[in-house]
Amino acid sequence: MKYYSNEIVFRGHPDKVCDQISDAILDECLRQDVNSRCGIEVMGGKGKIFVTGEVTTKSIIDLESIIKRVLKDVGYDTDYEIVNNLGIQSADIALGTNDSVHGAGDNGMMFGYACKDTKELLPLAMVILQKLSMAYDELRKKDSRFLADGKAQITGIYDEDNKLIKIKTFTICYQNTENDRASTDKIIEDIARNICNEYGIEVLEFLINPTGKFKIGGFLGDAGLTGRKIVVDSYQSFANVGGGAFSGKDLTKVDRSGAYKAREIAKKIVSSNEDYTWCEVQLSYAIGKSRPLAIYIKTNLGDVNASDELYDECDVKNMLIELRNKNICFEEKARFGHFKD
């Protein structure tokens, strides 16, 4: 028996709001110009939202309207000073990513993971937190006592096969009006407990707003920054994490496309053999080079050799074609988890 913890932040957490703004801008760039090259970073706090990074696009972007729409959607006020500090992509980087080369937009290694704990092929504790995050977002839309910001953490009890047996402590921090806390605490606890009951998981202890109060939140309570929740965005500590964040980056950035592809490969492999219980995939790339430098695959039964066909599949040009055909809404990915399905 052992203890292990994982966490999630809610859609209205300052860092996650910045992720959503970055990806909303990216989505609009790509909607108008599929060849847009974007690396968009957002910082928010204390009445200001600062947008910087690199964008090369034919798109015409109304930055202020996109940002205010996202703020409204997540439950924030929209009265913020917006600072636009975006520039164009470096010409040196463009040499390696243009259509004649189709190279990776940066060096990097990225990971994909899948396991048979759940139908989503994700760890059970991770799925529980994702469902809680989505349920909380619906709750705060219906009940004005619940405000946008929040996060949750599970400290689980696991057996020798790394299966979740019980939850030792379920910690939930949620921003609220502090009106009728006994009632709102019970509502959020009941939601979390019901999700756990779906999987037959007992919760031994709840810690809800353990400081005693959580009224000041969002950009008033903390600064936000794109890409700061990289562990939450990937596998919540159940697998290795790559070197780069996802949000604000178009698919030529292998931090994003490579991570999405690695997840897909891990799902296929773990589903291909009933004896596999988990699979982790690492991809690595060099800037300006299309073919991956290496593909490393490990499972509970040992390592798996990557075929030449898999290397071809993970060629940046081929990944771009495949992923673009999926018409991914990146803002949606940023809300509740890039790998929730």
**Is 41 assigned a catalytic role?**
yes
CA–CA distances in Å: residue 29 to residues 22, 40, 146, 217, 265: 11, 11, 33, 30, 28
Strands 278-285, 294-299: pairing is antiparallel
The one catalytic residue in 11, 13, 131, 333 is: 13
Q: Which of 309, 278, 269 shows the shortest CA–CA distance to 292? A: 309
Overall size of the chain counted in residues: 341
The one catalytic residue in 11, 102, 253, 267 is: 253
Q: Which of 203, 206, 4 shows the shortest CA–CA distance to 123? A: 4
Q: Which of 176, 205, 197, 216 shows the shortest CA–CA distance to 132? A: 197
**Is 33 assigned a catalytic role?**
no
**Is 104 assigned a catalytic role?**
no
Asked if residue 208 lies in contact with residue 185, where contact means CB atoms within 8 angstroms, the answer is: yes
**Is 10 assigned a catalytic role?**
no
The one catalytic residue in 7, 10, 11, 15 is: 15
The one catalytic residue in 19, 27, 28, 41 is: 41
What token pair was written down for 240?
A: 């290795």
The one catalytic residue in 7, 27, 117, 255 is: 255
CA torsion angle 235 241 246 251 (round to 10): -110
The one catalytic residue in 33, 50, 54, 289 is: 54
The rounded distance, in Å, linking the Cα atoms of 296 and 239 is: 14
* Strand-pair partners of 294: 284
**Is 141 assigned a catalytic role?**
no
The one catalytic residue in 146, 214, 219, 339 is: 214
Strands 202-203, 164-176: pairing is parallel
The rounded distance, in Å, linking the Cα atoms of 231 and 2 is: 21
The one catalytic residue in 102, 229, 333, 335 is: 229
**Is 214 assigned a catalytic role?**
yes
The one catalytic residue in 102, 140, 249, 261 is: 249
The one catalytic residue in 10, 11, 16, 152 is: 16
The one catalytic residue in 94, 135, 223, 286 is: 223
The one catalytic residue in 11, 140, 228, 261 is: 228
The rounded distance, in Å, linking the Cα atoms of 103 and 285 is: 9
The rounded distance, in Å, linking the Cα atoms of 323 and 216 is: 40
**Is 253 assigned a catalytic role?**
yes
CA–CA distances in Å: residue 307 to residues 276, 285, 314: 19, 17, 11
**Is 151 assigned a catalytic role?**
yes
**Is 233 assigned a catalytic role?**
no
The one catalytic residue in 64, 120, 222, 322 is: 222
**Is 116 assigned a catalytic role?**
no
**Is 81 assigned a catalytic role?**
no
**Is 62 assigned a catalytic role?**
no
Q: Active-site residue numbers?
A: 13, 15-16, 41, 54, 151, 214, 222-223, 228-229, 249, 253, 255
